[in-house]
Amino acid sequence: MSHFERLQACPNCFRRHDVSIYISGQKITCTCGIRFEVVRTETKTGADKPVSTKAGENKPALPGLKASSLKSGIDTRVVPSTPPDIPGYALREVVGRGGMGEVWRAEQISLKRTVAVKLLPSDFESAPEFVSRFEKEASALALLSHPNIVQVVDRGIAGGRYYIVMEYVSGPSLREKMSKGRLALKEAIQLISGIARAVDYMHSQGVIHRDLKPENILSDAMGNLKVADFGLAGIQRGPQEFALTATAVAMGSMNYMAPEQRKDAKRVDNRADIYALGVIFYEMLTGELPVGCFKLPSERERYFPKGLDEVFSQVLQTNPEARPARAMWIADVLETLLQQPAQVKRGQPRKRRHGRFPWWLLAALLGGLLAYVGFASSKREDKTEVKLPSNAREFVKKTGEIQNVNLPKLFEFPVS
């Protein structure tokens, strides 16, 4: 038995959903938490290919997709054996893959340096919305020049494939750093301060990221963090064609989205990014997300300085009007805190010492044991056991007054 499967991508994470059982205008919920409206046409498209429902006969409905992705809705695109030919660049290997395509480690032949090349999926090239968003990412990066922001090198189309060439960042993401354990307070403050300054610069250039999260913050070989992935960025200056997000659509990563962004991503301003910075910093310190009526750091752990509470009580306000107007405010407050060594030192959890035996405790126990043995010995020497008459046991049994008694102990008394 077979049916025609119509696939529609989530506008936020680009996971594909089978919408063949829905009608136009009906809303469905993606696994990323975003609800979007189904758009159906009566004309069959290239995506409407018959898919067998028999076990072992699932076939990809779109080129480059594994059969397993039809059930999960996740793009598990097969890496082509031969990389696309982009003039001036030699693509070496895929280093990342996401909703808006795949990222290759490549060599820029003219300068003999390593760069990153991001390719738009071939099946998105006929979708104007995705092409426009891809081009917007390159345009946003072209406006920015900051040591804590990934730099764009080139953009273009080759063999029908849209591509962006960017600075190659070889280190792990902030998420990978955090997965190894909670960061020390001083390190966390220094890292988030640098990112806050980069975000403040970004806002001054009219760019709102709208998808700040640990996965989109990379570190270079020197450990410096860099903001990356501007696929959902909003540009508040320049051509109107960059304002692509439709009204009343939520876009971003749910755990890091400001409340107003969950309702309407198009109308958010720089304070949505400030909220996301607060969520990231809170997670760096505590290992958890600030959900609901969350506790401030000093309420969770006594060793956190109360100066941190001011940051979170302001940047994580539900009402954007109550948040600081600039991300620079976060950097200024935290760097002031760094100038108070006693506060920062107090913010380090006390390390427990392992592997050292408490010899003082052993000495105390041995002393107590020797004292007890000496005392017991002295008592035993002061007592003389008196032998009982041979008929004493018989006498006690007859009287019936005492039973199950240790008679030698009973008749034991000191000799004067």
Residues serving a catalytic function are 211
Tokens of 33: 């938490």
Short-list 196, 189, 261, 273, CA closest to 230 = 273
Tokens of 17: 């959903």
Neighbouring C-beta atoms of residue 53, cutoff 10 Å = 11
Cα separation, 155 vs 291, whole angstroms: 39
Say if residue 372 is exposed, middle or buried (CB neighbours under 10 Å; 0-12, 13-18, 19+).
exposed
Cα separation, 121 vs 131, whole angstroms: 10
260 in the Ramachandran plot: left (φ > 0), alpha (ψ -120 to 50) or beta?
A: alpha
Tokens of 159: 């063999």
The answer to whether residues 324 and 333 touch, using CB atoms and an 8 Å cutoff, is no
Beta strand ranges found along 225-370 (DSSP E) = 225-227, 234-235
State the distance between the two ends of the chain, measured CA to CA, in whole angstroms: 109
Residues sharing a CB contact under 8 Å with residue 406, sequence separation 6 or more, in sequence order: none
